[in-house]
Structure 1
Amino acid sequence: MKNILIPLLVITIGFWGCNAPKKPSPEIAGQEEQALEDSLLNLVQYQTFRYFWDGAEPSSGMARERIHLDNVYPQDDRDIVTLGGSGFGVMAILVGVERGFISREQALLRLQQIVDYLGRADRFRGAWPHWLDGPTGKVKPFSTKDDGGDLVETAFMIEGLLTVAEYFKNGNEAEQKLVSDIQQLWQEVDWQWYTKGEDVLYWHWSPDYGWEMNFPVGGYNECMIMYILAAASPTHGVEPAVYDKGWALDGAIAKDTVYYGLPTVLNFYEHSDDPTGPLFWAHYSYLGLNPKGLKDKYGDYWQLNVNHALIHYKYAVDNPKHYAGYGEKQWGFTSSYSMNGYAGHRPGEMDLGVISPTAALSSFPYTPKESMQFLKYLYLVADSLVGEYGPYDAYSQEHHWYLPRYLAIDQGPIPVMIENYRSGLLWKLFMQNTDVQNGLAKLGFNYPGE
């Protein structure tokens, strides 16, 4: 494993120290600045990767729902593993290989463990639940009626697994077996079942409560990847009408607005009175799905995500509620911990004075300058907000609050989206999958390389 901490300290001291004999030339200063930034990116990727590597639940190899360094847990749920967060985590493992944190052979062993576990774990028409009990693989209810299949969490896991399969598809016999096992899991998800025979996908089904949660997924949010995978399935694929009528609300999804001088591109109003959403909507579906040049009849998804992140940045700089700390170096709002538990932070009514580091850091592809300003603030100024697995989940200068706690769904997008910014690795892998390409074509998407 590469020791990335010593180079970071050397570069940081050299760049920020006051004992330099003379001011460096602009060229040298630029090289030092670039070296500092590269080291910071390496460090945050390494720390957040470790959440999924060293912090994994040992029986499954999967990501724990949460890790609290203060050892205070709700209902002693230390062994709960999360499907969506683990989907992000398997992509983070690929980042670990590419950045030299682990070997390809180490990654293969862990991914074999995860895929074997997923094949034995509880599934409901091919879909996993939101949570599993790590040691047993049995469903752990997320809520009273949420004790069965969760199609959104399943989509996040499949997104990660298909990316892994592309990474190993030309490998040795053991790697080929991993790819075959992933393909079987992918083909067993019955996306059609989760339509109830209607032109919309439903989020949940329970063996005890059936469809009682009654959550048809439509209007723009984090779930776009679910609809693309449902169309892409080679065994249980849905028709384009499910996307157009269910997800796109017969075209109403394209009714955008302007906020901080930027078009929102799609309609965020289905979910809130606020004109934009939490920033995880710009991350979860796009860990594998490359928004660069991605368009359909409803929108330009690169413009959508860039504007979404810039709106958050501009809102923090404007700081209409006059919260302490907000500005060019501290910005980004998404669902995370808060002083009062988990909350869906976003500009507007749901702005509680809480900044969630994953929001800006996972937006590196969209806002590289603004995200780097925040990264430097965290590591060079406010390092008390950073721990063993990277930046803590959330903090508030306004309320003098933070806790040394992490959530898998917030840590996972950080190393993956930073890698997409640096090399495009996960985007390249996912977008080269033949089934994914067929699904995008089926739904009328245009994207580079077609």
Structure 2
Amino acid sequence: MKKYILAVGVLSLGIASSCQNMQNPVANHQGVEHNKEQHLMDQVQKDALKYFWDFAEPNSLLARERYHQDGVYPQNDSDVVTTGGSGFGLMSLLVGVERGFIPRAEAVDRLTHVADFLASAERHHGAWSHWIDGRNGKTVSFGKKDDGGDLVETAFLVQGLITVREYFKNGTAKEKALAEKMDALWRGVEWQWYTKGEKVLYWHWSPNYGWEMNFPLEGYNECLITYVLAASSPTHPIDSETYYKGWTRNGTYLSENSKYGLNLIVQHNGAQEYGGPLFWAHYSYLGLDPRGLSDRLVKDYFELNRNHVLISHRYALENPKNFKGYGENYWGMTASYTRNPDGSVGYTAHMPSNDRGVITPTAALSSFPYTPEESMNVLRYLYEEKKEFIGSAGPYDATSVHYDNWTTPRYLAIDQGTIAPMIENHRTGLLWNLFMNAPDIKQGLKKLEFTSTKHP
């Protein structure tokens, strides 16, 4: 009887609400628009997920480095999987499970297969290489001397491993076994070894060339998550001095520069006027929640990222090079495919200081947590007015209205992989909550003197 009364009460509330909306056309319109926006976010999340679910490398089930809808690939590239992009893909799969886009049991089977493949794949002091041969787990050279461990790509992968572990750790026996596999992979990374005994992390190590790449991780760019994970490791951790001496350059990476009245807060490596490509506001923050996050030097990571995105947005509105199409509905620069001057397809890190008239959809779409209204304008424009820019796995990687609606029917894992997780963080905070509430991450953040008002 109580259940019946409750149901009637809810039904009555629904009727009253509908009547009010009929009497209030503004409220009714707002409700329709809200539903349309929710549908659009569902759609782009489902589309981006296809990259990792439908178009994964068939043996490893990890993310291919690239998926070309036109079928044109570089030589010997179709079996190459990407370490960092696969980490983003793992987080995309969690979004798919949570929203019912993919069956939970099938996701568990696939993730278990992925964990087993990664456990057997070649590693370099615990770190995976940038590229891996999906057929056999062997290292694929990313460059002449980049044929060993890539600590940053490994960090992007581990960010995904930890969120998968947290999502399934209290589930069925099969899910708990999956969580244990993910935990074992994370524990195997020798973060401290990648300091060379110094107070800074190094990006690369090669079994053939040693440390010859000589690339210390110094801020500010996309690499913050590497230090957070290295400090959080239960097996091979770094100390806080390595973070503050290495990443923050002894505190000298702070900046007083501003653009459009927005403070940059930190010095973006090589891009100190406008800030760097927008993936710097995405890659480390799929799991690391910037809301209310601070450390000894940066008082608000959300402000840092939001200002970075808004500067890129306002640059597009200013449009100093007069590229056709730029505006409220069409903005966002990050690393992606590009249109070369001769019309061929290339690759570059788009940003205001490297503006080629190309807009990369992931830049705005993955910025939803920082600029929800501005990002929604781009989402609506793409799906409602520029359907030629949409393919089998969502918006194509690179587009240009200026060059007669040029696009390339191709995708990159690292670009497509941030869309579903960052939109989900905007909608529910799913990945942020999983990562930030992991016990080892909490300890690591505490060690580095981070505080979070959202995850105390």
Query: What TM-score bracket applies, with the shorter chain setting the length?
Result: over 0.9
* 3-state secondary structure, aligned to 1:74: coil
1:376 matched to which residue of 2? 380
1:122 matched to which residue of 2? 122
Deviations along 1:327-360, one digit per CA (max 9) or x if unpaired, are: 1110000000001311010112x11111000000
Q: Using the alignment, how far apart are the partners of 1:289 and 1:325 within structure 2? A: 33
1:276 matched to which residue of 2? 275
1:19 matched to which residue of 2? none
Is residue 334–residue 346 contact of structure 1 (8 Å, CA) maintained in 2? yes
Deviations along 1:33-83, one digit per CA (max 9) or x if unpaired, are: 111111110100000011000010110010000000111111240111000
Summarize the alignment of residues 80-91 of structure 1 with structure 2, pairs less than 5 Å apart: 80-91=80-91
Q: Using the alignment, how far apart are the partners of 1:101 and 1:399 within structure 2? A: 35
Cα distance change, pair 275–313 in 1 and its aligned pair in 2 (3 A): closer
Q: Using the alignment, how far apart are the partners of 2:301 and 2:24 within structure 1? A: 42
Deviations along 1:90-134, one digit per CA (max 9) or x if unpaired, are: 000000011111121111001001100000001000000000011
* 3-state secondary structure, aligned to 1:358: helix
Corresponding position: 1:219 with 2:224: no
Is residue 274–residue 311 contact of structure 2 (8 Å, CA) maintained in 1? no
Cα distance, 1:219 vs. partner? 1.6
Is residue 319–residue 326 contact of structure 2 (8 Å, CA) maintained in 1? yes
Corresponding position: 1:175 with 2:181: no
1:419 matched to which residue of 2? 424
Q: Using the alignment, how far apart are the partners of 1:23 and 1:143 within structure 2? A: 65
2:265 matched to which residue of 1? 265
Opposite residue 277 of structure 1, the aligned amino acid is G
Opposite residue 365 of structure 1, the aligned amino acid is P
Match of 2:371 among 342, 367, 370: 367
Q: Using the alignment, how far apart are the partners of 2:319 and 2:256 within structure 1? A: 23
Q: Using the alignment, how far apart are the partners of 1:50 and 1:99 within structure 2? A: 14
Deviations along 1:244-291, one digit per CA (max 9) or x if unpaired, are: 0110000111123101110011111x3235430100000000000000
Deviations along 1:215-239, one digit per CA (max 9) or x if unpaired, are: 0110210000000000110110001
Is residue 253–residue 298 contact of structure 1 (8 Å, CA) maintained in 2? no
Opposite residue 170 of structure 1, the aligned amino acid is N
Is residue 274–residue 312 contact of structure 2 (8 Å, CA) maintained in 1? no
Cα distance, 1:25 vs. partner? 1.6
* 3-state secondary structure, aligned to 2:266: coil
Cα distance, 1:397 vs. partner? 1.9
Is residue 259–residue 273 contact of structure 2 (8 Å, CA) maintained in 1? no
Match of 2:362 among 353, 358, 362: 358
Is residue 257–residue 273 contact of structure 2 (8 Å, CA) maintained in 1? no
Gaps of 5+ in 1: 1-21
Q: Using the alignment, how far apart are the partners of 1:24 and 1:385 within structure 2? A: 37
Gaps of 5+ in 2: 1-21, 341-345
Cα distance, 1:162 vs. partner? 0.2
1:390 matched to which residue of 2? 394
1:324 matched to which residue of 2? 324
Provide the TM-score with structure 1 as the length reference: 0.93
1:146 matched to which residue of 2? 146
Match of 1:443 among 443, 448, 451: 448
* 3-state secondary structure, aligned to 2:356: coil
Is residue 258–residue 273 contact of structure 2 (8 Å, CA) maintained in 1? no
Cα distance, 1:88 vs. partner? 0.3
Is residue 357–residue 394 contact of structure 1 (8 Å, CA) maintained in 2? yes
1:230 matched to which residue of 2? 230
Is residue 365–residue 421 contact of structure 1 (8 Å, CA) maintained in 2? yes
RMSD over equivalenced CA pairs, Å: 1.3
Opposite residue 114 of structure 2, the aligned amino acid is I
Q: Using the alignment, how far apart are the partners of 2:30 and 2:273 within structure 1? A: 40
